[in-house]
Amino acid sequence: MPIFDDLKANFPVEYIAGGATQNSIRVASWMLQQPKSCSYMGCVGKDESAATMTKECEKEGVVVHYMVDEATPTGTCAVCVKDGERSLITNLGAANNYKIAHAEAAENWALVEKAKFYYISGFFFTVSPDTIMKVAEHAKEAGKCFMMNLSAPFIMQVPPFKAALTATMPFIDILFGNESEAQTFAETEGWDKALTVAEIACKISAMENGPKKVVITQGADPTIVAEGGKVLLEHPVRPLTKEELVDTNGAGDAFVGGFLSQLVQGKEIKDCCEAGNYSANVIIKRSGCSYPEKPSYP
């Protein structure tokens, strides 16, 4: 905990609204340029951090309905960036305390019912899997699109989290992840260690109770999209020089945000991947998950 005070006292600190899912929703809203078309729920404390985050999100056109835990501070993440690489230290705080009762409250559930697309990061399996399942079931019953992200290897490695992921898989229309998360998923399933990332994506998409589509990013290598056990698309990534790389923090979240911005408009998967690559490319050239006022896209 002392590292947070040390950073503030001894380094020039930037404050940027964060959180994996919230980053994706912010980027989707930025790409869409349609205020109040995207909304987000999560848990914050009753403090200055929450006030700053609310102000930033609302300024960006995102509708936020936070659950407020007055006894716990808003979650924070200290990010140290050196030569384009990052190290993160997270104090989850209130983000760890979300309760399904908040989602079920009339004004909040109205937002859920109004939405046509849903995206939740895998990190939320550690917090409120019952909320995930409730939203997933609603999406399935209403014929809407429900999406999730593998988010981190530990989600697959910790048995209760893997069990929650497995239970949700039949409801997932699109599952996102990166190459290390895909490889960890394969390991925890006991699959052949020699499988390529593309082969793993295909196997996940072919699972009897698995997601309909699987989208796996691979850093500078092509993004893999698999469906029904076959590779649907291998989409190249926009080139980036080493000098342009400022901070990889939020790049994966930004890819999803860009992808979602086109998906909700009914665009083709290749267009979704291209917008995802564009968004990630913009974020990588800046500090944190931040972006200029308007996108230069398409």
Per-residue pLDDT of the chain (298 residues; tens, 9 = 90+): 888 889 889 988 888 888 999 999 999 999 999 999 999 999 999 999 999 999 999 999 999 999 999 999 999 988 887 776 778 888 999 999 999 999 999 999 999 999 999 999 999 999 999 999 999 999 999 999 999 999 999 999 999 999 999 999 999 999 999 999 999 999 999 999 999 999 999 999 999 999 999 999 999 899 999 999 999 999 999 888 878 878 777 889 999 999 999 999 999 999 999 999 999 999 988 877 788 889 999 8
For 196, how many CA atoms within 13 A lie in the half-sphere containing its CB?
Answer: 10
Question: What's the pLDDT at 192?
Answer: 96
pLDDT of res. 215: 98
pLDDT of residue 184: 98
Residue 223's closest CA among 193, 255, 195, 254? Answer: 255
Rounded to two decimals, what is the model's pTM? 0.94
Q: Tell me whether residue 192 is one of the annotated catalytic residues.
A: no
CA distance 138 to 65: 19
> What's the farthest any 2 CA atoms get from each other in the chain?
53
Q: Of the listed 47, 192, 253, 271, which one is catalytic?
A: 253
Q: Distance between CA atoms of 217 and 290, rounded to whole angstroms? A: 20
